Structure 1
Amino acid sequence: MSTPSIAPSIASDMEKGTPSHVENTPIGITADLDPEHEQYLISRHGSVQLDPLPSADPQDPLNWPDWKKNYEILLIAFGSFSSTFMAAGLTPAFETMAEEYGVTLETAAYFTSAQIAVFGVLPLFWVPLMNTYGRKFFVTFGALACGVLNIGGAVSTTFGQQMATRVLVGVFVSTVTAAGSSVVGDLAFSHERGKKNGWWTLAFVVGTPSGPFFTGFIQQHAGTKWIFYVFAIMNFIQFGLWLFATETVYTRSNPVYHQSKVLKVLGIRKSESRQFHWKMFFRPLKQAANFNITLAVIAASVTFCYANIVLVVEMPQVMIPYFHLSPQQLSLQYISIIVGSFIGEVLAGPLSDWWMKRCTAKRGGNRVIADRLWISYNGYFLVIIGLIIWGVFLFQAKPGHWNIRPLIGAAIAAAGNNIVATVITTFAIDCNPSKAADVGLYINFVRSLYGFLGPFYFPYMFANLNFAGSAGLMCGLVLLFAWVPSIIAHVVGLRRAK
């Protein structure tokens, strides 16, 4: 959702290419349109060559005014930004919180890693419910609940209390992180989805390093409590904005809904055409049976953990004791990840799209999805080079004497991670485009859980292998469990294409 960089990977990658969750009328059968429907579409959109083809109902989200569509998508973007902003935003306060709660700095890092795990698991729960009963209620209530819980975080006095508020914040904030591609799919035509998905995915990506960047100044000048109060203010602003939003779930084939007075007040509605079943919660996990998708999940999970989580979550544990940085100084270290993430995001999508067009043209119009994996090798190379620079220069650095060279490595690794995540996720979706949403949720689930485990052993790895040795180990894991699986999927895909 590019979550701690809980982001560059989890969202920006999870949702690219995800189709609409609105039931669509097939495009291209415009000859069967009745005159009134055709005239309505021409007057509203200037064309009937639209994918998906809207109905003649003004309540159809595809027929809404552009300002109304953009309002909904920007709300999703704001919520996505806030979710990763808050998860990673506690890192400058880890030292203070560790002292206050009587735990180690490594244990304090679990406040963030626990939310990573929740981000990965809970979308499996929320997405079926939101697609069946509507999204507005869940995201509105989620924002309100997070605001209350963040106030609770400000007054927590024990580690257990604080951990409970962080986990529950992750539970409710994942409503908005799970809705991004669904809302864009409901509101945007196929030729617009890349740009509109880019709004919220970029916000999700930038939120991760932006959280600790800004909260470092808050921690330095106002204290830990005000970090939570700022989080709560952001949530209550979202809650107010969601009250003016409109439900985007719309069943085009049969727009008839059942609503009691109570459900109408709450904003919950049930469509006759959308039947809920508990099996919907487990459907994304069926993608594990697909060989290519499973290899992609392994590659994405390993790269995300060692080129993303380790850089964001471990930053205070590495930089504070090593260079004696203040919270404000620590926040400035995240600029490297912000810059690297932007560079990687720019290089990932446009470059792989250009490469696929070139390969398809050379093959006489035959599109082979494995061709996209060539671009992922650039990402793996940058990840390995970046981790080596980061680890070696940290190992060589003199305690108390800060230098920028490890941060250059962090920026390079962050750029490589974004390239890998975007290309690998797009490849996985191409392997089963009809189940793109399930593929994205499956990747997000495994990647987040693997990333959650990292902070439990990172401190022991650094203590026993030092920074240079740890970087070498992580590079070896990326090479063996990420790059090699990509090569296997690439070779098998090219052979099948012959």
Structure 2
Amino acid sequence: MPNPNDPNDPLRWSRSKKHVCFGAVCAFTFLTNFAIGGLAPAFYILSLEFHKTQTETSALLIWPILVLGLFNFFWVPMANYFGKRPVFVFASLLLSAAYLWGALAQSFESLLWSNIVAAFAGSSTEAVGAAMVNDLYFLHQRGNLMSFYVNSISGGNTIGPLICGFVITGTSWRWQKWIAFILTFINFLVVVFFVPETRYDRSGLLRVSTPASAPSLDDENAPPNLEKTPTTKSEAAEVSLERDSVPQVPVKTWRQELSLRSGRPKNTNLLKLFIRPLPLIVYPAVILSFLGYAVSLAWVVAINILNPFVLQAPPYNWRPDVNGLINIPALIGNLVGSWLGGWVVDRYSDWRSKKNGGIFQPETRLHLLFIPALIVPAGCLAFGYGVAETLNWTALFFGTGMVSVGLTFVPIATMTYVSDCYLPVNADALELVNGLKNIVAFGFLYGVLPWVTEAGYINAFGTQAGIYVLIMLLAIPVIIFGRQIRHATAQWRVIL
């Protein structure tokens, strides 16, 4: 609920101000993956240039994935304690410096460490960026906006390799880093001058109703049924008197909004903020979300790692630019997944709410998970059989696109569900989801090359298909018993 007496409340910002702020964070997230995951088409060339094996070269992507997950547990407490703005200003500057380092790297080890430092900086948006959706937007907008955010993550891993393939063929892999440095530094300037602090304390808000004619909210941005119109003159007078008794907060100047200091939370300390998210691992919604996100990410990145060594080697013998085209179906899959997991799930949840007498049940966001549960395993089988039997490239392309649907659909649906269930601690919950999914994905990816080499593509990707179905089946008890689970977990004293 927005504060009707404070125009500085992020929920009351103008639509353009919200979108610029959110867009800068999405761009930061996109660029993190653009130059790290985007380097995949160059892996075959890099293995020859630096005399590294296939497994050693894959470290350029596998270790940054681990860092992206682990350091969520560093950045989120820092953002909760010092504010999101100072974190983004520092992290975006560090990301720019890391890409400059990568462009100038003269050894494989230097390039690897530049990617690791970039992942450290980029990990600041994995959970904090998702939490900003709740800072800026209302309940009925969050699913759709979360789809934009998740698509910015996945888009870096698809558009990045697509562009990198042509850059490598035309110039060299270093220009991928130079492009990333230029774009990241421009975005750093946007963050410095146009992204205010979005953290806002709502604990002391007066829970009063406002007249329907009150101009305190932008009607286009206001959520449905947010306010209750007084039914009698006495109620209206009481509400008006209560509103008038609270002084209006002055609007901050642009210079004040650029401050890196926004106060520190009361009754807590930094150590407590570091420890607080960990007990949330016992929440079923969090378990479902991080496991579903982990396998959706791992299977896509596994294809990104493997396809250059398949398509640039005999019998395909493709150039890097042609190899990069495999990311077109991946991009289409991401867009389809984000549309289904965001807009379609939002519309479906609204429809179910109307049928339920206007009562929203968060579990309706999980009903459509059967879609990726069917499409992603089929994509795994198409890619695995395509490589093993040296089928036409279309089999590999279709498989990649189908697997990519899950990378956006599953996190959008499940992370929005987590936010709906545990809104007061959503930043901590999303921190845990984003951190753990990268750690789990790292475990799978660390062994994917030896696994494929020993078991073969058919067995490896067939097993991946089975694992994916099993994890999607975990949604069934959450859907059936979700209401009871939410009521029970609300009584758990796991938050310090």
Regarding TM over 0.5, the answer is: yes
Say if 1:299 and 1:196 are closer, same or farther in 2 by CA, change over 3 A: closer
Give the letter for the 1:478 counterpart.
Y
**Contact 1:76–1:179 (Cα < 8 Å) also in 2:** no
Superposed CA deviations along residues 22-49 of structure 1, whole A, max 9, x for unmatched, are xxxxxxxxxxxxxxxxxxxxxxxxxxxx
Alpha-carbon offset, residue 189 of structure 1: 4.3
Cα distance in 1 between the residues matched to 2:288 and 2:152: 28
Say if 1:177 and 1:421 are closer, same or farther in 2 by CA, change over 3 A: closer
Give secondary structure in 1 for the equivalent of 2:2: coil
Aligned pairs, number: 435
Give 1:485's match in structure 2, choosing from 462, 468, 474. 474
Cα distance in 1 between the residues matched to 2:57 and 2:346: 41
The answer to whether residue 366 in structure 2 is matched with residue 377 in structure 1 is no
Q: How does 1:223-242 map onto structure 2 within 5 Å?
A: 223-242=172-191
**Which one is further off, 105-114 or 345-354?**
345-354
Give the letter for the 2:5 counterpart.
S
Say if 1:318 and 1:54 are closer, same or farther in 2 by CA, change over 3 A: farther
Say if 1:115 and 1:138 are closer, same or farther in 2 by CA, change over 3 A: same
Q: How does 1:334-349 map onto structure 2 within 5 Å?
A: 334-349=327-342
Match of 2:440 in 1: 450
The answer to whether residue 186 in structure 2 is matched with residue 210 in structure 1 is no
Alpha-carbon offset, residue 371 of structure 1: 4.6
Cα distance in 2 between the residues matched to 1:392 and 1:494: 41
Alpha-carbon offset, residue 76 of structure 1: 1.3
**Which one is further off, 356-365 or 142-151?**
356-365
Q: How does 1:90-489 map onto structure 2 within 5 Å?
A: 90-248=39-197, 249-251=199-201, 267-271=260-264, 273=266, 275-306=268-299, 308-322=300-314, 323-362=316-355, 368-397=361-390, 403-480=393-470, 482-489=471-478
The answer to whether residue 77 in structure 2 is matched with residue 88 in structure 1 is no
Which consecutive segments of 4 or more residues in structure 1 shift more than 6 A? 263-266, 494-497
Say if 1:346 and 1:85 are closer, same or farther in 2 by CA, change over 3 A: same
Alpha-carbon offset, residue 90 of structure 1: 1.0
Give the letter for the 2:73 counterpart.
L
Q: How does 1:2-81 map onto structure 2 within 5 Å?
A: 51-56=1-6, 58-81=7-30
Alpha-carbon offset, residue 341 of structure 1: 1.0
Give the letter for the 1:409 counterpart.
G
Say if 1:472 and 1:250 are closer, same or farther in 2 by CA, change over 3 A: closer
Cα distance in 2 between the residues matched to 1:104 and 1:380: 34
Give TM-score scaled by structure 2 length: 0.79
Match of 1:20 in 2: none
Cα distance in 2 between the residues matched to 1:324 and 1:199: 36
Superposed CA deviations along residues 244-265 of structure 1, whole A, max 9, x for unmatched, are 1253244465999xxxxxx999
**Which one is further off, 380-389 or 429-438?**
429-438
**Contact 2:196–2:257 (Cα < 8 Å) also in 1:** no
Give the letter for the 2:301 counterpart.
I
Give secondary structure in 2 for the equivalent of 1:89: helix
Cα distance in 1 between the residues matched to 2:18 and 2:344: 28
Say if 1:320 and 1:455 are closer, same or farther in 2 by CA, change over 3 A: farther
Alpha-carbon offset, residue 63 of structure 1: 4.6
**Which one is further off, 60-69 or 120-129?**
60-69
Alpha-carbon offset, residue 226 of structure 1: 1.6
Cα distance in 2 between the residues matched to 1:351 and 1:246: 30
**Contact 2:105–2:111 (Cα < 8 Å) also in 1:** yes
Give the letter for the 1:55 counterpart.
N
Cα distance in 2 between the residues matched to 1:272 and 1:179: 16
Unaligned runs of 5+ in 2: 206-247, 250-255, 487-496
Give TM-score scaled by structure 1 length: 0.78
**Contact 2:329–2:401 (Cα < 8 Å) also in 1:** yes
Give the letter for the 1:319 counterpart.
L
Cα distance in 2 between the residues matched to 1:169 and 1:443: 21
Cα distance in 1 between the residues matched to 2:105 and 2:438: 26
Unaligned runs of 5+ in 1: 1-50, 257-262
Say if 1:63 and 1:122 are closer, same or farther in 2 by CA, change over 3 A: same
Cα distance in 1 between the residues matched to 2:185 and 2:485: 53
Alpha-carbon offset, residue 84 of structure 1: 1.6
Alpha-carbon offset, residue 387 of structure 1: 1.2
Cα distance in 2 between the residues matched to 1:367 and 1:183: 22
Cα distance in 1 between the residues matched to 2:28 and 2:99: 15
Give secondary structure in 2 for the equivalent of 1:391: helix
